A = this chain, B = another copy of it.
Amino acid sequence: MEKLRVDLGERSYDIKIGEDILANLGQYLSELEIGKKVLIISNPLVDSLYGAEVEKAISEAGFEVEKALIPDGEKYKSLDTAKDLYDEAVAAGLDRTSSIVALGGGVVGDIAGFIAASFMRGINFIQVPTTVLAQVDSSVGGKVAVNHPQGKNLIGDFYQPQLVVADKKVLHTLEERELKAGLAEVIKYGFIWDEEFFSFLKDKREEVMNLDTQAVIKAIKTSCAIKAEVVEEDETEQGLRAILNYGHTIGHALEAVTNYDCYRHGEAVAIGMVAAARIAHKLDMLTVKEVKEHEELISDFGLPIRFEGVDHDQIINALTKDKKVEDGVIRFILAEKIGKVKILSDIPEAIIREVLAEIGGE
């Protein structure tokens, strides 16, 4: 089992990464200073695969375990579902010393974290992420939220977990498309922070995609380490943390315009990273070769680098509605080279349109 520490003063916590470590959950929880009651929040699919194992591990360590399931799907990451979960938390008799364990992907993690953050003004929270995206991204860093009909993650908080347990084993049951989409975020870390990691991913592409244990654990660990480093420096997204949104500006716009039912998040981010690379090239920040390296790595991981059938005006329109827009200024994260990015605003719309024309020819 590999261990990483996220260093946030009083809010510091460990990330444990390994193969077949769900069975140790009870022991891990015993090492925390938490009360007897544990509420597992999951969804029916993940629960059917890993619920019994997790429940057993935790209750055998002497905890009183209750379980609350929410329907599967992004649309249930809502205030309505949150309301049901508060009812379940009350019914389970949770008190201030109790804990919520999120067992699932980013949807479960985000809403469970929101409940943990707000129930009795904050109870203990443990993340057991079961998708690639959740293991390398959403479970680390403390962003928790539910969606509002008018915007994703519009209602939320910064609330750090007490522990993250990423078991590589669970990735084997992921749908192929889900797996690949999650890897888009892994690739992202190479582009924004770590050229060596970029090279590693290039070299070990096959091992990672075939879920070779060593390669995947290294990929998860490096991703989490990068995210931790960024979050340690900027927990509440005053500045640096925004670089984690590399590829997300255009990515989010694409998702929004296609009503979130055409692209997986990671796929949209993949296209968004290509767009960002091409914008950077037009601003003399990246060379043609570096743009090509973006596109090759992304497409080698089975992710899209082009799109079609989406109106460019709508994308431009969606960009200005993004939550990350402040006082009307759209921010882009652009690479200066592979492994280093910076935040820019005031990218001329003409350049964005040129790039859209290149990769999303109508």
Contact = CB atoms under 8 A, between A and B. Distances in A.
A121 interface: yes
A59 interface: no
A97 interface: yes
B157 A117 contact: yes
A323 interface: yes
B83 A79 contact: yes
Contacts of A145: 121
A266 to B, nearest CB: 22
Interface of A: 35-36, 79, 82-83, 86-87, 90, 95-97, 117-122, 143, 145, 148, 150-151, 153-158, 236-237, 323, 325-327
B121 A143 contact: yes
Given A86-B148, A121-B145, A327 B35 contact: yes
Given A90-B150, A155-B86, A157-B157, A326 B121 contact: no
Nearest to A156: B121
Contacts of A148: 86-87, 90
A210 to B, nearest CB: 37
A148 B153 CA distance: 22
A289 to B, nearest CB: 37
Given A79-B79, A83-B79, A148-B90, A327 B154 contact: no
Contacts of A118: 118, 155-157
A83 to B, nearest CB: 6
14 contacts: A36-B327, A79-B79, A79-B83, A87-B148, A90-B150, A96-B323, A97-B327, A118-B155, A118-B157, A119-B154, A120-B154, A122-B157, A122-B158, A157-B157
Contacts of A325: 95
Contacts of A326: 35, 95-97
Q: Which 3 A-B pairs have the closest CB atoms?
A: A90-B150, A121-B156, A118-B155
A157 B97 contact: no
A217 to B, nearest CB: 31
A236 B86 CA distance: 21
Nearest to A97: B326
Nearest to A145: B121
Given A83-B79, A327-B97, A119 B155 contact: yes
Nearest to A117: B157
